[in-house]
Amino acid sequence: MVVLSQPPALEHCSLIKTCKPTCVFTGIPVIDLRDPEAKTLIVKACEEYGFFKLINHGVPMEFMTRLEAEALSFFNLPQSDKDKATPFGYGSNKIGPNGDVGWIEYLLVNANPQLTSLKTLSENFCSYAVNDYILAVKRLAFEVVEIMADGLEIEPRNVLSRLLRDEKSDSCFRLNHYPPCPQLQALSGRNLIGFGEHTDPQIISILRSNNTSGLQICLRDRTWVSVPPDQTSFFISVGDALQVMSNGRLRSVRHRVLTDSMKSRVSMIYFGGPPMSEKIVALPCLMAKGEESLYKEFTWWEYKTCAYNSRLGANRLGLFEKTANASL
């Protein structure tokens, strides 16, 4: 267990919600990237859950463990030292500008281009652990969406990956740390909510965490289930942009993170986003003859702005549906 010199904003704990533990879900699709049927299995998982676990992914375990160690070293610094990194992406508790809070501290950086801002934190952190990991995970993201395109029979197969490869791609990388807080949780018998329920707005998210539980997803019947941790694998999530581009065929997954009462959770997430000026619209090749798009056309900048200005748990896509009433 990692003991923080000072947990993030303990004085604001009364604002942080709690949640009862839920059942562990054993039905998460597990897909071997080297399986000849991976393209079919990925599409099926994204249609049914918007989420799957990826194994045999090719990212060296060394990259994961090294970055995790660097992250814990940083998050275990005195709070005054961490606060010095605020201009370079450090934050705690506050999630967005509209009052959402969680039991969390994080580092958020642009994954494209090079992460020069992290050099102020630690030369090793930037030059080795972060860059090696992000480059490997970006390559994995390109491969996953191209295999997905094969399964969807999209031509050309780089329709999605070109957006992530673009030098103006608005992709980002986030390190989340959820410290334990047994005293507060003991009072309620519940887990603190580290990161409240939401969908990711980007095209695709690739998450790796340490071997601590906490991630939960919402199934189609609105049941919340816990995802068993696996520090050797990646968890892939469909984002809102991909839901629109597939005209609702692939669904973004609503998820949240609860804290563990005794162990720290460290998550590393690559969010693959398109360029700011990219128009997000249903791909004609995925629409049947006579089928109409479910969503109005918008640019990624417009949607990102909407997401940033809304509450975390809002139905952001509702504002862009053609037939449904917009609701937050």
pLDDT tier at 146, thresholds 50, 70, 90: very high
* Window from 15-19, 239-243, 270-274 with minimum mean pLDDT: 15-19
> Structure pTM?
0.91
Q: Tell me: pLDDT of 326 over 50.
A: no
Query: Which residues face 18 on adjacent strands?
Result: 192
Q: What angle do CA 273, 274, 279 make, to 5 degrees?
A: 135
DSSP H helical ranges for the chain: 38-48, 61-75, 79-83, 123-124, 131-152, 161-165, 182-188, 240-245, 300-309
Q: Tell me the one-letter amino acid at 322.
A: K
**Distance, CA of 160 to CA of 180 (rounded, Å):** 38
Q: Tell me the one-letter amino acid at 126.
A: C
Q: Which range scores top for mean pLDDT: 5-19, 33-47, 94-108?
A: 33-47
Query: Which residues face 107 on adjacent strands?
Result: 90, 175
**Distance, CA of 103 to CA of 12 (rounded, Å):** 9
**Distance, CA of 193 to CA of 19 (rounded, Å):** 7
Q: Is residue 211 classed as helix, strand or coil in its secondary structure?
A: coil
Q: Tell me the one-letter amino acid at 184.
A: L
Closest Cα partner for 201 from 226, 166, 171, 228?
A: 171
Evaluate the CA torsion angle 225, 255, 280, 116 in order and state its sign.
negative
Hey, which residues are catalytic here? 265
Residue 128's CB is within 10 A of a number of other CB atoms, namely 15
Q: Tell me: pLDDT of 217 over 60.
A: yes
Q: Which pLDDT belongs to residue 186?
A: 66
**Distance, CA of 4 to CA of 21 (rounded, Å):** 24
Pairing assessment for the beta strands 30-32 and 51-55 based on DSSP bridges: parallel
At 132, list the tokens.
Answer: 């090696």
* Window from 130-134, 180-184, 306-310 with minimum mean pLDDT: 180-184
| Stretch 150-172: mean pLDDT | 96
First to last CA, the chain: 39
Question: What CATH architecture does domain 12-312 belong to?
Answer: Sandwich (2.60)
